[in-house]
Structure formats: structure tokens, C-alpha cells
Amino acid sequence: MHRFANPARFMRLSEPALPWLATATALLLGVGLVLALFVAPPDYQQGESVRIMFIHVPSAWMAMCAYTSLAAASACALIWRHPLAEIAAEETAPLGATFTGLCLVSGSLWGQPMWGTWWAWDARMTSVLVLFFLYLGYMALSSAFDDPVRGRRAAAILALVGFVNVPIIKFSVDWWNTLHQPASVLRMGGPTIDPSLLWPLLVMGLAFTLLFATLLVVRMRAALIERKIRALEVTQLEAADSRVFG
């Protein structure tokens, strides 16, 4: 656990890994998009608009995956005072909020031609909207204190409390029979979706996961560098101070 708590080690390990991660993301995203937009057949009921699924479903997965990692990182930060986990959690939140927003917007665009409505107060959609507000609350809380450490710790507790929403989202379509379709990929007894659509979806899911990982590493590196710059500025100011006031 503590072997990886060292920010310098993280910078050293992530530097050579980042180009590989980025290349893999670009490759998979390219292959996935070609499969999703050109190779996959149009759905017999939904026609071409089924292709929104290849953005919508992976965003939804990542929205929940990002919240789960946010909660896990927060737990590590609270229990072991792990400095990297703290940064990881803080940098995960805007990414998760973006994926959640993408999921809500693409779902709305898909809902209009399919269900004839932009929005319905269905259990799945409402719980994802709550997830979006949880991300916003996390970010608002972590930036609401003059002491950034205190803000991050308070936000970490909020992330753990808000985690109750994730299983609610996952099982909302099974518990409440509403407009949103029930689970069709991750379910007991295997997926019910046709392989011609399932494979591009899985490739896109993996591509989104790698995209999340790449962006997270970039953001974490940027945050660490920013801290280093701030620390240098403070020492410079102190040096200037001591020259003036001796």
C-alpha cells in the first residue's frame, strides 16, 4: 500500500507508461468507433439510432466505475492518509461528472426518437441524475474550505456516504419496472444482446475505460506538478521576504 504512496515514484512510473496508455486508448477508440458506426448492423427496430448506444452505455458504465473508484480512493485517503489516493479522488470527480453528463445527454438524444420524450422520471434516469449532483456536491465541498486538506477530507467522507447510490442505479431497472430497459449485458445467465452489437459495445467499453485511465494519469501528473510549482513559489517568496526584512 505505502510503496505506491510516494508521489515521486508515481511521476517516475507514469512518465513512460503514459504514451503507451494514450496510444492504446486512441487505437481502441478508433477501432471501436469504426465497428460501432460502420460495421455493426442497424437494429431491426431502432434502425441507425441504435448507434447512440455505443456512446451512451460506455458513458454510463464509466459514470458508475468512476464513482466506485472515487469512493475507493476516498476510503484509502481517509484510512491510510494516502497522499496519492487523495489526489486520485480529487482528479476523478470532474472526469466522472463529465461521463455522467455525457450519459444523461446521449440518453436524452436517444430517448427523443425512441420513446418520444427527452426526459422521463424513470428510476434509472433519476438515480443517474442524483449521481451527477453527487459529483457536483463532491467538487463544491472539496473547494469550499480555505484549507484544501480539510476540503478534501470532508469530500472524501461525502463520497463514501454517496456510494449508496451506485447499487441503486445498478439495480433500479430490476426493482422498478419503468421506461428504461432492463440490464442486458451484465446479468445472470449471460448477455441478451446480439453478438454483432455486443462486440463493438465491449470494445467501446474498454476504450472508454482506457480513456478514463489516461485522462486520470494526465490530471494527476498535472496536479502534482502544480503543487510542486506552488511549493517553489512559496520558498522563493520566503527568500525574497528574508532579503527585504532580513
Partner 1 sequence: MSGFRALLLRDLRLAFRQGGDGLMAVIFFVLAALLFPFGLGPEPEALARDAVGIVWVMALLASLLALDRLFQGDWEDGTLDLMALSPLPLELAVLAKALAHWLLSGLPLLVAAPIVASMLQFDAASLPRLVLALALGTPTLSLLGAVGAALTLGARRAAVLVSLLVLPLEIPVLIFGVAAADPAGIGDGLTHVMVLGALLALALPLCPWAAAAALRQALE
Burial of 154 (0-12, 13-18, 19+ CB in 10 A): middle
Q: Is 81 in the site for partner 1 (CB under 8 A)?
A: no
Identified binder of partner 1 from the candidate list 17, 27, 161, 231, rule CB under 8 A: 161
Among 6-14, 66-74, 83-91, 150-158, which window interacts with partner 1 (CB under 8 A)? Answer: 150-158
Q: Which stretch binds partner 1 (CB under 8 A): 33-41, 62-70, 135-143, 218-226?
A: 135-143
Contact string (CB under 8 A) for partner 1, positions 113-132, x = contact: -------------x---x--
**Neighbouring C-beta atoms of residue 13, cutoff 10 Å:** 13
What DSSP state is assigned to residue 47? Answer: B
Amino acid symbol at 116: G
Of 48-56, 69-77, 90-98, 153-161, the segment contacting partner 1 by CB under 8 A is: 153-161
Which position has the grid cell 453478438? 195
Is 157 a binder of partner 1 (CB under 8 A)? yes
State phi, psi for 17 to the nearest 5 degrees.
-75, -30
Q: Report which of 119, 91, 88, 92 is spatially closest to residue 105, judged by C-alpha positions.
A: 119
**Interacting stretch for partner 1, rule CB under 8 A, among 29-37, 91-99, 138-146, 189-197?**
138-146
Question: Crossing angle for the helix pair 195-245 and 7-34, nearest 10 degrees?
Answer: 150
136 binds partner 1 (CB under 8 A): yes
What grid cell was written down for 35?
Answer: 465497428
Q: Footprint of partner 1 on this chain (CB under 8 A)?
A: 78, 126, 130, 133-134, 136-137, 140-141, 144-146, 150-151, 153-154, 157-158, 160-162, 165, 168
